[in-house]
Amino acid sequence: MRTSRQLEPELRVICAPNPSPMTGEGTNSYLLGRNRLVVIDPGPEDASHLDALRAAIGGLPVEAILVTHAHRDHSPLARRLAQATSAPVLAFGDAFAGRSERMARLAEQGLSGGGEGVDTGFAPDRCLGDDELLHLEGDVIRALWTPGHFGNHLCFVWRGAVFSGDHVMGWSSTFVSPPDGDIGAYMRSLDRLEAEAARVLYPGHGAAVRDPAARIAELRSHRLAREAAILRVLADGPRQIGGLVSIIYTDTPVAMHGAAARNVFAHLIDLEARGLVVAEPELGFEARYHLATV
């Protein structure tokens, strides 16, 4: 069983035993507080991780279980931890909450995700609004709605630190796969997080980000570079997503090309919405894409 690690006087982390190319060393579950605790992202359905969380909690009361978003590496254990502690599960909404109208329409038309593990049964006890404040034993946590990686994604602001979930991480760029992932929303949520001027980010995976402004700028330019690369390739003629991936992602292991294809698709949906790219016969994962003629 894993043990907790102290990050600050009233903040501990336990990494869940679910390492993978998509989760890094595993999902970070955070415990805040001294006499009364708040848990952020209980993690995957895993009995040993539940044991680890319960051991770290000890006999202390848990005031709330906060969930950044409804991916299966973050949210499923919330229900069992709630049963064990009698604490309510708080999140932006269910797995479909917070989708843009456009993504909701694409999903209705049959666009499905890339199998990245949506916790479709996720149901918080109470939904948190954007900028909602949680008062906890003289302390305040603020929910920050940050869609992009996932429609119902929240970051949590606490004492100048931000728990950034999968929105901004240090070890990896963020996976954006439609219809849960939305590049336009992601870019706006980067601006939103930047405006917080956080002293540190505690992400859903990997180590703390000590220079948030630099990391956010890096992720923004990474996205803009991908977008420019897609437009450059399409300037040479129409392509399908597979063709774009093999030309653009030359520095990425082939095992990650499936994920890369979802990211490219996310960019193409955004470019189509902005009138820069046209999809034939219609917007979809198998479509052919070409530049819009101006």
Residues in touch with Zn ion (CB under 5 A): 71, 166
- Which CB, 71 or 267, lies closer to Zn ion? 71
- Which CB, 73 or 227, lies closer to Zn ion? 73
- Which CB, 33 or 98, lies closer to Zn ion? 98
Q: What is the DSSP string of 206-274?
A: SS-BS-HHHHHHHHHHHHHHHHHHHHHHHTTS-B-HHHHHHHH-TTS-GGGHHHHHHHHHHHHHHHHHT
Output the smallest distance, CB 27 to Zn ion, in A.
9
Handedness of CA 73, 78, 84, 85 (dihedral sign): positive
Which pair of tokens denotes residue 64?
Answer: 């709330």
Please, what is the Cα angle at 245 between 100 and 252, to 5 degrees? 105
Which pair of tokens denotes residue 42?
Answer: 């209980």
Q: Which residue is nearest to Zn ion (CB)?
A: 71
Contact 97, 127 (CB under 8 A): yes
Output the smallest distance, CB 219 to Zn ion, in A.
15
Helix (H) or strand (E) holding 105: helix 101-108
Output the smallest distance, CB 169 to Zn ion, in A.
10
Do you find a cis peptide bond into 253, omega within 30 degrees of 0? no
- Which CB, 33 or 42, lies closer to Zn ion? 42
Output the smallest distance, CB 14 to Zn ion, in A.
18
Query: What residues contact residue 58 under an 8 Å CB cut-off, 6+ apart?
Result: none
Q: How far apart are CA 13 and CA 201, in angstroms?
A: 13
Which pair of tokens denotes residue 176?
Answer: 């954006």
Q: How far apart are CA 29 and CA 13, in angstroms?
A: 6
Output the smallest distance, CB 68 to Zn ion, in A.
8
Output the smallest distance, CB 23 to Zn ion, in A.
9
Q: How far apart are CA 190 and CA 207, in angstroms?
A: 19
Output the smallest distance, CB 61 to Zn ion, in A.
29
Residue 20 sits at φ, ψ, to 5 deg, of -170, 170
- Which CB, 176 or 248, lies closer to Zn ion? 176
